[in-house]
Amino acid sequence: MSVAIGLLVAALATPTDLWTGENGPARAKAVIEECLGEADRQLSNPRLCVPRVVDACENEHGTYQRAMNDCATFSRLAWEGRRMAATKRLTSAKQATATQSPDRHIARLIESENHWDAWNRPDCEMQAAFSEGGTYHRFALDSCLSDHAAHRAIELEALAEDWGKIFDLGNS
C-alpha cells in the first residue's frame, strides 16, 4: 500500500506540462521547427507557422490568462531567437568570390535592423495600449512582439538563402 501511495505521489509531483519552467522556450522552438519543416515539405507558406506556438501551447498548457501569457512569451522568445540567429548568420557573411564583397550588404542589414528595433516595441506598445493595467496586457504585448519577430525571422532566413548563393555564410 505504501508503495502505491509513493507511486501516486511521484506521479502527481512529476510535471506533465511540456510548457512549465525552462521547458516552455524549448517546446516553443520545437513547435516552430516542426511547423517550418512541414512548410518546407508541403511547399507551403512559412508564415502559417507564426500562430502555431501559441495554439500548441494553449492546447497543451491551458487557456487561463496566466497560461496564455506564458504561451505568448514562449512564442516571442522562440521567434526572437530565430531572428537573432538569422541576423548573426547574415552579419558573418564572408566574401566567396573575387567580385562581390558583403560589407555594403552587411552595413545595410545592420541599418535595417536598427530601424526595425526602433519600430518594433513602440508599435506593439501602441497596439496593446487598450489592455494596459489589465491581466491581458502581457499577452497582447508579447503576442504582437512574437508576430513581429516571426515575420522578421522568416524574412531574414529567406535573405540568408539568397545571400548564401553569393557569400560564404559558414555554418553559423
List, in order, residues 6 or more apart from 104 with CB less than 8 Å away. none
List, in order, residues 6 or more apart from 94 with CB less than 8 Å away.
Answer: 102, 167, 168, 169, 170
Mean pLDDT of the chain: 86
- CB of 95 closer than 8 Å to CB of 168: yes
Furthest CA-CA distance within the chain: 78
- 110 and 91 in contact (C-beta within 8 Å)? yes
In this predicted structure, what is the pLDDT of residue 37? 85
- Using only the alpha carbons of the chain, give its radius of gyration: 20
Q: What CATH number should be reported for the domain whose range is 23-163?
A: 1.20.1270.180
Cell numbers placing 159: 535573405
108 burial (CB, 10 Å; 0-12 / 13-18 / 19+) is exposed
Q: pLDDT digits over 27-49, tens only? A: 999 999 998 887 665 546 788 88
Q: Phi/psi at 94 (nearest 5 deg)?
A: -120, 155
Residue 147 has pLDDT above 50, yes or no: yes
pLDDT exceeds cutoff 70 at 127:
yes
Lowest mean pLDDT of 89-98, 105-114, 115-124, name the range.
89-98
**Quick check: 142 and 76 in contact, CB under 8 A?**
yes
Q: How far apart (Å, rounded) are the C-alpha atoms in residues 80 and 165? A: 25
Looking at residue 168, the DSSP 8-state letter turns out to be B
